[in-house]
Amino acid sequence: MDLRYTDDQLAFRAEVREWMAANVPDEPLPSFDGTRAGFEAHREWEARLNAGRWGMVTWPEAYGGRGLDLIRWLIFEEEYYAAGAPQRVNQNGIFLLGPTLIDYGTQAQKARFLPPMANGEEIWAQAWSEPQAGSDLAAVRAKAVRDGDSYLLSGHKIWSSRAVMADWAFGLFRTDPASERHKGLSLILFPLDAEGVRRQAIAQINGETGFAELFLDEVRVPVENRVGAEGEGWRICMATAGFERGLMLRSPARFQMTARRLVELYEANRETCGPAQRDAVAQAWMAAEAYALSVYATASRLIAGGGIGAEASLNKIFWSEMDIAMHETALAILGARAELLPTAPAAGDVGRWLDGYLFSLAGPIYAGTNDIQRNIIAERLLGLPRA
């Protein structure tokens, strides 16, 4: 155990910091879920990041990455969030599908899909959930019917984040019509502008169209768009979900920066705050630090050759509950102003806390609900019997 950064790691931090200082836009970009302009501004940011080879530092150099280990990824993320850099519009691609392709994709798939993913040319959506397959993902009904060298994709996907404006989606489809549950599913990539795809934007809790419904009617894609063997989709998707819940989706720096902003909010409102707020603010900082320490421990373990399995579910519960608690604390500090939208003349800078609060409420739902995560912890980590 050695909790000091090496000189190389410190130099790396300085390099990231310098690049971010020179490149992060001064004004926050407009939301990528609000307007096409906001979406495209984020796409441009991805291209700029990639031009600096900061798109995905853990990827192999051949695909635009730097081949760095997870400790450096954490350092990168710390500097990224500290600099106030934009949210990653392509997070479904770079954090979820990217690592999945690196582990399970063919050489041709990696060469075809990773570079345009890294530079934002192709923004990805995840098309797993269906109206009848939410928590019970194995109930997926959308099908992929083999037709020569193609699949014909048909079915109804829902809650697909970014799909309103994204370019591609990775979906879970039933390739064996006689199969049930986890068997006979395959992971297939399809362009969202293909013939037979109809997208229907869905307004989210804040009124923006952050996700979409996808109606697929015999969408033709080449067989090469399947990731992994036919029928292996479930296993591969669970590996993807591990990245999502476990490490990549929510890097600790995001929450450490929220904690820091919360302390600043507390300090700016000190006269109207009491000991309850002081404790809640200290608690927020402790939670963010605990999460960061835990991720550093996981990263050290993974670098030493360990794996991450059901432990990912512990992380998902922790960060999602922490995120809500932090935003609730902010709203409590704001008092009467908490309910104001950013457009209200009296709002000042409070609007983003409200936005953040609304988004935090989704945390216990997406990436597998926290109830499902508790089932996983109980059954797979603790070994309790299935119902």
Ligand X SMILES: Cc1cc2nc3c(=O)[nH]c(=O)nc-3n(C[C@H](O)[C@H](O)[C@H](O)COP(=O)(O)OP(=O)(O)OC[C@H]3O[C@@H](n4cnc5c(N)ncnc54)[C@H](O)[C@@H]3O)c2cc1C
> Annotated active-site positions, please?
244
Q: How far apart are the first and last CA of the chain?
A: 41
Check if the beta carbon of residue 189 is closer than 8 Å to that of residue 113. yes
Which sign does the torsion angle of CA 375, 286, 239, 91 carry? positive
Tally the residues of the chain.
Answer: 387
Q: Which stretch binds ligand X (CB under 6 A): 68-76, 128-136, 146-154, 231-239?
A: 128-136
How many binding residues for another protein (CB under 8 A)?
A: 68
Residue 301 binding partner per list another protein, ligand X, none, with a CB distance cut-off of 5 to 8 Å that depends on partner kind? another protein
| In the complex, minimum distance from the CB of residue 159 to ligand X, in angstroms, rounded to a whole number | 4
Q: Which stretch binds ligand X (CB under 6 A): 13-21, 308-316, 339-347, 367-375?
A: 367-375
Can you tell me which of 62, 293, 341, 344 binds another protein, judged by CB under 8 A?
293
The answer to whether 368 contacts ligand X (rule: CB under 6 A) is: yes
| In the complex, minimum distance from the CB of residue 278 to another protein, in angstroms, rounded to a whole number | 6
Can you tell me which of 181, 183, 352, 374 binds another protein, judged by CB under 8 A?
374
Can you tell me which of 176, 300, 355, 365 binds another protein, judged by CB under 8 A?
300
Can you tell me which of 35, 150, 294, 369 binds ligand X, judged by CB under 6 A?
369
| Alpha carbon distance 145, 175 (integer Å) | 6
| Alpha carbon distance 299, 78 (integer Å) | 14
| Alpha carbon distance 12, 69 (integer Å) | 12
Can you tell me which of 301, 309, 332, 347 binds another protein, judged by CB under 8 A?
301
DSSP string across 158-208:
EEEETTTT-SEEEEEEES-TT--TTTTEEEEEEETTSTTEEEEEE--TTSS
The answer to whether 381 contacts another protein (rule: CB under 8 A) is: yes
What is the bridge-based pairing of β-strands 211-222 and 197-202?
antiparallel
Check if the beta carbon of residue 70 is closer than 8 Å to that of residue 299. yes
| Closest of 84, 268, 240, 81 to residue 172, by C-alpha | 240
Can you tell me which of 20, 165, 253, 326 binds another protein, judged by CB under 8 A?
253
CA distances to 97, 109, 143, 212 from 102, rounded to whole Å, are 9, 9, 25, 27
x/- binding map, residues 192-231, to ligand X, per CB under 6 A? -------------------x--------------------
Can you tell me which of 109, 119, 129, 256 binds ligand X, judged by CB under 6 A?
129
Q: What is the dihedral of CA 45, 47, 52, 56, to 10 degrees?
A: 90
- In the bound state with another protein, the residue whose beta carbon lies nearer, of 139 and 282, is 282
Q: Which stretch binds ligand X (CB under 6 A): 36-44, 106-114, 158-166, 175-183?
A: 158-166
- In the bound state with another protein, the residue whose beta carbon lies nearer, of 77 and 213, is 77
The answer to whether 7 contacts another protein (rule: CB under 8 A) is: yes
The answer to whether 175 contacts ligand X (rule: CB under 6 A) is: no
How many binding residues for ligand X (CB under 6 A)?
A: 18
Q: Which stretch binds another protein (CB under 8 A): 30-38, 234-242, 273-281, 331-339?
A: 273-281
| Alpha carbon distance 328, 309 (integer Å) | 31
| Alpha carbon distance 366, 314 (integer Å) | 15
Which sign does the torsion angle of CA 63, 67, 70, 72 carry? negative
| In the complex, minimum distance from the CB of residue 143 to another protein, in angstroms, rounded to a whole number | 32
Tell me if residue 154 falls in helix, strand or coil: strand
Please name the helix (run of DSSP H) or strand (run of DSSP E) that holds residue 354, with its range, or none. helix 351-360
Tell me which residues touch another protein (CB under 8 A): 1-7, 9-11, 13-14, 17, 71, 77-79, 81-82, 252-253, 256-257, 259-260, 263-264, 266-268, 278-279, 281-282, 285-287, 289-294, 296-297, 299-301, 303-304, 311, 314, 317-318, 371, 373-375, 377-379, 381-387
Tell me which residues touch ligand X (CB under 6 A): 126-129, 134-135, 159-161, 211, 362, 365-366, 368-369, 371-372, 375
